[in-house]
């Protein structure tokens, strides 16, 4: 049975699923769709053209779907779509898309956004992502499966954060973070090798990691022409899916690649 606290303000035009819990002083606007078994603990505001899947939990003072912080936004009916089983902690802000970015911000499944995180307009987040406290994404950022973004880190607009990567706390990220890699914290950080702990937790065995280490060395540590290094890496990768994914990520970078610190 759906439960709505008497102090909550829920539009009669909103679509509310079954077994939803809406706590004290929450606000749900008319274009919002809330899936089954979602919980808004208290003081949560969900606005705009926002569609939320099932089994999501929103903690107090999270602000979801309000107008983007973009001076080019003029009230177009852009969307925010959130998948299933996400945890949105205190004071998180998530903005919908803009006309200049495809009109959509999308968040996948089973993500954890800790307190005070910000997801700006037109960001695309996949699944099983962790953003630690105060992590901030500027507009048009894409974060792939299983990435971890350390607390108080700021990600520049239009960047890509690769799958199973980890970014250390207090990082100022201004270039793409390649998949499977560990990034040391600090302003304009550098890579510090593969994210070995994370890879092992996700079932990567010794052989898979060994191939990735060699691809990492060639693409992200070695000097020389990038096209030559990509060709060398492809010859080693063969049909290895992980290695080919890392190579393709580097090959298609438009904003430049964060690389290993050279001593």
Per-residue pLDDT of 64-116, as tens digits, reads 999 999 999 999 999 999 999 999 999 999 999 999 999 999 999 999 999 99
Integer Cα distance of 52 and 94 in angstroms: 12
What is the location of CATH 1.20.1180 in the chain? Answer: 199-251
- pLDDT reported for residue 262: 61
pLDDT in tens, 148-178: 999 999 999 999 999 999 999 999 999 999 9
Task: Using a pLDDT cut of 70, give the percent of the chain over it.
Answer: 99
Q: How confident is the model at residue 188 (pLDDT cuts 50, 70, 90)?
A: confident
CATH code for the domain defined by 199-251:
1.20.1180
- pLDDT reported for residue 65: 98
Architecture of the domain made up of 3-195? 3 Solenoid (2.160)
What is the location of CATH 2.160.10.10 in the chain? Answer: 3-195
User: Does 235 score more than 80 pLDDT?
Assistant: yes
Residues taking part in catalysis? 121-122, 139
- pLDDT reported for residue 43: 98
| pLDDT mean over 184-201 | 93
- pLDDT reported for residue 186: 85
| pLDDT mean over 185-209 | 95
User: Does 263 score more than 70 pLDDT?
Assistant: no
- pLDDT reported for residue 129: 98
- pLDDT reported for residue 185: 83
- pLDDT reported for residue 261: 76
- pLDDT reported for residue 161: 98
What's the predicted TM-score (pTM) here? 0.97
């Amino acid at each position: 049975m759906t439960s709505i606290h008497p102090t909550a303000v829920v539009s009669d035009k909103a679509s509310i699923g079954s077994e939803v819990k809406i706590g004290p002083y929450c606000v749900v606007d008319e274009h919002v769709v809330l899936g089954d078994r979602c919980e808004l603990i208290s003081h949560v505001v969900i606005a705009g053209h926002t569609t939320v899947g099932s089994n999501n939990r929103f903690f107090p003072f999270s602000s979801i779907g309000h107008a983007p912080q973009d001076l080019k936004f003029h009230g177009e009916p852009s969307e925010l779509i959130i998948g299933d089983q996400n945890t949105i902690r205190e004071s998180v802000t998530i903005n919908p898309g803009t006309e200049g970015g495809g009109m959509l911000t999308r968040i996948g499944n089973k993500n954890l956004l800790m307190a005070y995180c910000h997801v700006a307009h037109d960001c695309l987040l996949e699944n099983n992502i962790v953003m630690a406290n105060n992590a901030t994404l500027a507009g048009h950022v894409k974060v792939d499966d299983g990435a971890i973004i350390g607390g108080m880190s700021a990600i520049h607009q239009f960047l890509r954060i690769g799958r199973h990567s980890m970014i250390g706390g207090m990082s100022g990220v201004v270039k793409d973070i390649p998949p499977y890699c560990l990034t040391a914290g600090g302003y304009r950080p550098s890579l510090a090798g593969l994210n070995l702990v994370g890879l092992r937790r996700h079932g990567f065995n010794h052989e898979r990691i060994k191939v990735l280490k060699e691809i990492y060395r060639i693409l992200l540590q070695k000097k020389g022409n990038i096209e030559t290094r990509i060709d060398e890496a492809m010859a080693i990768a063969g049909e290895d899916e992980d290695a080919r994914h890392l190579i393709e990520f580097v090959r298609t970078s438009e904003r430049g690649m964060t690389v290993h610190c050279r001593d």
